[in-house]
Amino acid sequence: MPADTQVEYGVATYAPEEPGGDVWVLNLGPQHPATHTTLRHVLELDGERVVSCTVHIGYLHSGFEKLGEHLNYNQYVVVTDRMNYVSPMANNIAWHHACERLFDIEITPRCKAIRTIIAELARIQDHLVCVGCSGLDLGGYTPFMYLFNPRELILDLFEEVCGHRFTTSYTRVGGLMQDITPGWGAKVKRFCAEVLPLALDDFEKLLTRNRIFIERTKGIGYISREDAINWGLTGPLARASGVRRDLRKDEPYLCYADNWDGQGSAGVDFKVPISEGGDCYARYLVRLAEMRESARICLQLADNIPSGPVDVLPLEKVTLPDKREIYSSIEGLIHHFEQIMTNRGFRPPVGEAYGANETANGELGFYLVSRGDNTPYRARCRPPSFINYQCFPHLVVGHQISDVVAVLSGMNIIAAELDR
Amino acid sequence: MPGDPTSVITILRERFADVDFAPAPLIDRGRRRADDQMGVRIPPDRLLEVMRFLHDDPRCRFDQLCDLTCVDYSEFHGATDRYGVAYSLLSTVHNHRLWAKCFVNDPAPSVPSVVGIWKGADWLEREVWDLFGVKFEGHPDLRRIVTWEGFESHPLRKDYPLRGRGEREDFDVVTRESA
C-alpha cells in the first residue's frame, strides 16, 4: 500500500500514481459470486488499483429488530437462525444467553455442557466454511471440498439433537428444546478426535504453504492493532491483528467459567490463538488454530456431560414442564397453560441487560430492554459482521482489484447478519 | 472476569462535578444480586467532552465502542424522554464496560457524533439515523444504510407499524419501457 494513502472516517482515499489519469468505476455486486451474498461495492479504479471503495448494504434488510419487539423470548430464536445462517446454533445460544442474563437464570450444568459443545461445533463449522471459501475465492476448488465433508458431519450432529441442519432453533429460555440423544457425546468425540484433525491436516497440506495462496493473502488487507480496536473489530479479525481479547476468557460464561457445574470444576482448558500479522493470511491461520482448540474443548466435555435435567426447575416459571408432567398432574397442566397463553407467559424484570457470546465472527451480543411483559421492548443485536465490515474500504484501498476478493472472503461477511 | 465499573463512575464524578450522571445498574434486581452492568446518563451538550475523557483517560481507557444503538422510550412506563441513544463502551485494557445514555426528544432529535473518537461509530450512527431518525451532528457521511435512499420513515420508532406503511405494496415497478 502506498505511503500517501490517507484514510479518514471510513471513506478511504488514494493518490493515483499519475495525477490526472483515468479513474473508472466498477460495480462489484450486488450479485457476484465472490460476494457470497448480496453486497455491493462501488470501486473506483486506477487501472487495476483501487482508489476508493464505497460499500452499499441493506439488500437483505428484513427488520429483525422490529420483529423482536413483537415476538416473545422463545419465538425470536427462530429469527436468530436466519441472522448468521452459517452458524445458527451459535446465534441461538447467544440470544438465550442474553435472555437469561435479563431473567437472571442460572442454567443447569448439563445444559451448559451441551451448549458449550454445540457452540464450539458451530465455531468449527463457521470457520470451515470461511477458510474453505478463502481458498475457493482465490481459485482453489479442492480445499473447499475437503472442508465441506467434515462440515456435513457437524450438520449431521446438529440434526441428531434438534432435527434440523440449519434452522436449528435449539435453545429455549432456561434450557434446550430437548435433551441430546444417547450416544451423541461419543459421536462428537469421534468427530473431534479422528475426523476433523485429519481433514484439517489434509487441507493444510494444500493451502497453508501454498505459494500462490501465500502471495495472494500475505500483506493484503492489513490493519494494525490500534486501528482494529478503534474500528471495533472483534473475533478472529481482531485477534489476527494482535488484540488479546476473547470473551470466553475475558468474560467467561457457560463452561469457560470456573465452577460452572457448582461443584468447583475448572473451566475448560483451551488457548486463544493470536497473530501479529494483521493481514488475510494471519486471519486464515488464526481461524485454523481456533478450530483445533475448539475440537480440544469438545473432547474435554464430550465424555463428561453432567447428568440431570437440561431445563431449569419449573419453579423459575420459564421453561415448559415435561410432557408426562402435563398429562398426569394438575400443577404441570396449569404451569404449561401459564406459559403458553398469550396474555401470560414470561414475567421478566423491568430493565435492560446485555449478554454477549464469542461466536465465530466475533462478539455477538443482544441488548434487551424489557417492560416486564411477554415480549422485549427492544431487542438490539450487536452483529459482529456489521461492525467488522465498516473498515473494509480502509483495507482494500491501494490494493489490486483481485485482492478485494481475498479481503472479502477473509473477513467472512454474512450479509443476512449484516443487514438483519 | 470483567472489571468493576464503579471506579470509573467515581472518576467521572470527580472530573465532571457539574454533570448529573445518575449512575444506576442497567437492571435493578433489588437485593438478589449486585449487577456489574452499570449505566450513566450524559446530557447531549456535554457528550463529546465526556466521551473524549472516557476514551483518553488511562484509568478509564474505553478504547472500543462496542455498540451504539437507540431505544424509543415513547411507550415505556415512566419514561420522560423519547429517544435514548445508548453507547456501549468497552475497554480492552482494563476489561470493563460502561453503558452511557444520551436522551433527546422530538422534534429534530440530534446528538453530536463520536466518529472522531471511535471510527467504528461510523455505520452504527448511520444505522441509528436510518432506523430512528436521530441526527448525529458532525458525522461526515450521514446517509441511510439499511433502507434505501428516498425512504421517508424511521422504522424502529414505536409509531411505525410492524407491517409498514405500504412501501412494499406501493413500490414503483420499473418496466423495460419506462427504464
Average pLDDT, chain A: 86
Q: Report the run of H or E that residue A295 belongs to, with start and end.
A: helix A280-302
Q: What would the DSSP string read from start to end of A96-144? A: HHHHHHHHT-PPPHHHHHHHHHHHHHHHHHHHHHHHHHHHHHTT-HHHH
Query: What DSSP character marks residue B27?
Result: B
pLDDT at A229 over 50: yes
Give the chain B residue nearest A354 (alpha carbons).
B37
- What structural domains does chain B harbor? 6-137 (3.30.460.80)
The residue whose grid cell reads 484509568 is B59
**Residue numbers in B near A357 (CB within 8 A):** none
Q: What would the DSSP string read from start to end of B3-18? A: PPTHHHHHHHHHH-TT
What mean pLDDT is predicted for residues A315-319? 73
Res A339: pLDDT: 81
Res A239: pLDDT: 92
CA distance readout (Å), A74 to A95, A174, A393: 10, 10, 38
- What structural domains does chain A harbor? 6-56 (no CATH), 105-313+391-419 (1.10.645.10)
Query: What DSSP character marks residue B73?
Result: G
Comparing A342 with A240, the larger pLDDT belongs to: A240
**Residue numbers in A near B32 (CB within 8 A):** 104
Say which of B119, B124, B162 has its CB closest to residue A9: B119
CA A96 to chain B, closest CA, distance in angstroms equals: 17
Closest of B107, B5, B124 to residue B69, by C-alpha: B124
The model's confidence at residue A4, banded by pLDDT at 50, 70 and 90, is: very low
> Do A9 and B162 make contact, defined as CB atoms within 8 angstroms?
no
Q: Which residues have CB under 8 Å from A187's CB, separation 6+?
A: A157, A160
Lowest pLDDT segment from A102-106, B51-55, B129-133: A102-106
Q: How far apart are CA A177 and CA A159, in angstroms?
A: 13
> Sign of dihedral through CA atoms B170, B171, B176, B179?
positive
Contact B151, B126 (CB under 8 A): no
Cis peptide before A19 (omega within 30 of 0): no
In chain B, DSSP finds a helix count (H) and a strand count (E) of 3, 7
Residue type (1 letter), A157: L
Contact B131, A381 (CB under 8 A): no
The residue whose grid cell reads 442460572 is A106
Contact A53, A404 (CB under 8 A): yes
What mean pLDDT is predicted for residues A280-294? 92
Res A2: pLDDT: 42
> Do A353 and B120 make contact, defined as CB atoms within 8 angstroms?
no
CA B175 to chain A, closest CA, distance in angstroms equals: 20
Closest of A275, A288, A198 to residue A239, by C-alpha: A275
The model's confidence at residue A234, banded by pLDDT at 50, 70 and 90, is: very high
Using CA atoms of A243, A281, A293, A276 in order, give the dihedral in degrees to the nearest 10: -30
pLDDT at A19 over 70: no
> Do B67 and A382 make contact, defined as CB atoms within 8 angstroms?
yes
Contact A354, A380 (CB under 8 A): no
**Residue numbers in A near B162 (CB within 8 A):** 66-67, 70
The model's confidence at residue A30, banded by pLDDT at 50, 70 and 90, is: confident
| 83-112 of B, contacting A, C-beta below 8 A | 86, 88, 92, 95, 97, 99
> Do B156 and A387 make contact, defined as CB atoms within 8 angstroms?
no
Query: What DSSP character marks residue A315?
Result: G
For chain B, list the strands marked E by DSSP: 24-25, 38-41, 64-72, 83-90, 97-104, 110-112, 135-137
Say which of B28, B92, B141 has its CB closest to residue A243: B92
Strand bridging mode B38-41 / B97-104: parallel
- Angle in degrees, 0-180, between the axes of helices A196-207 and A280-302, rounded to the nearest 10: 170
The x, y and z cell numbers of residue A56, run together, are: 452499499
The model's confidence at residue A5, banded by pLDDT at 50, 70 and 90, is: very low
**Residue numbers in B near A42 (CB within 8 A):** none
Give the chain B residue nearest A245 (alpha carbons).
B92
Size of interface A-B (CB pairs under 8 A): 124
CA B120 to chain A, closest CA, distance in angstroms equals: 4
Q: What is the pTM of this model?
A: 0.89
Comparing A411 with A14, the larger pLDDT belongs to: A411
> Do A367 and B67 make contact, defined as CB atoms within 8 angstroms?
yes
Lowest pLDDT segment from A92-96, A172-176, A292-296, A343-347: A343-347
Q: How far apart are CA A332 and CA A229, in angstroms?
A: 50
The x, y and z cell numbers of residue A21, run together, are: 489519469
> Do A419 and B146 make contact, defined as CB atoms within 8 angstroms?
yes
User: Percent of chain B having pLDDT more than 90?
Assistant: 28
**Residue numbers in A near B66 (CB within 8 A):** 232, 363, 365, 382
Residue type (1 letter), B37: Q
Res A278: pLDDT: 87
**Residue numbers in A near B95 (CB within 8 A):** 250-251
Q: How far apart are CA A161 and CA A178, in angstroms?
A: 8
pLDDT at A10 over 50: no
Res A78: pLDDT: 92
**Residue numbers in A near B119 (CB within 8 A):** 9-10, 227, 230-232, 390-391
Could you give the angle at the alpha carbon of B98 between the alpha carbons of B96 and B99, nearest 5°? 155
User: Percent of chain B having pLDDT more than 70?
Assistant: 96
Query: What DSSP character marks residue A400?
Result: B
Please, how many CA atoms are within 13 Å of residue A10, restricted to the half-sphere of its CB? 27
Q: How far apart are CA A178 and CA A162, in angstroms?
A: 7
Residue type (1 letter), B111: V
Q: How far apart are CA A321 and CA A311, in angstroms?
A: 9
**Residue numbers in A near B144 (CB within 8 A):** 58
Strand bridging mode A11-13 / A6-8: antiparallel
pLDDT at A108 over 60: yes
For A14-61, list the strands marked E by DSSP: 24-28, 40-46, 49-56
Mutate to test the interface with A, among B36, B66, B144, B147 (most CBs of A within 10 A): B66
Closest of A99, A122, A96, A123 to residue A111, by C-alpha: A96
Contact A108, A175 (CB under 8 A): yes
> Do A227 and B119 make contact, defined as CB atoms within 8 angstroms?
yes
pLDDT at A3 over 60: no
Burial A165-179 (b: 16+ CB within 10 A, else e): eeebbbbbbbbbbeb
pLDDT at A95 over 90: yes
Comparing A21 with A308, the larger pLDDT belongs to: A308
Say which of B65, B76, B155 has its CB closest to residue A232: B65
Closest of A368, A194, A250 to residue B64, by C-alpha: A250
Q: Which residues have CB under 8 Å from A129's CB, separation 6+?
A: A86, A147, A151, A412
Lowest pLDDT segment from A150-159, A322-331, B25-34: B25-34
Rounded to whole angstroms, the maximal C-alpha distance in chain B is 69
CA B122 to chain A, closest CA, distance in angstroms equals: 7
The model's confidence at residue A413, banded by pLDDT at 50, 70 and 90, is: confident
CA B132 to chain A, closest CA, distance in angstroms equals: 11
The x, y and z cell numbers of residue A28, run together, are: 462489484
**Residue numbers in B near A391 (CB within 8 A):** 119-120
CA A100 to chain B, closest CA, distance in angstroms equals: 13
User: Percent of chain A having pLDDT more than 90?
Assistant: 30
The model's confidence at residue A152, banded by pLDDT at 50, 70 and 90, is: very high
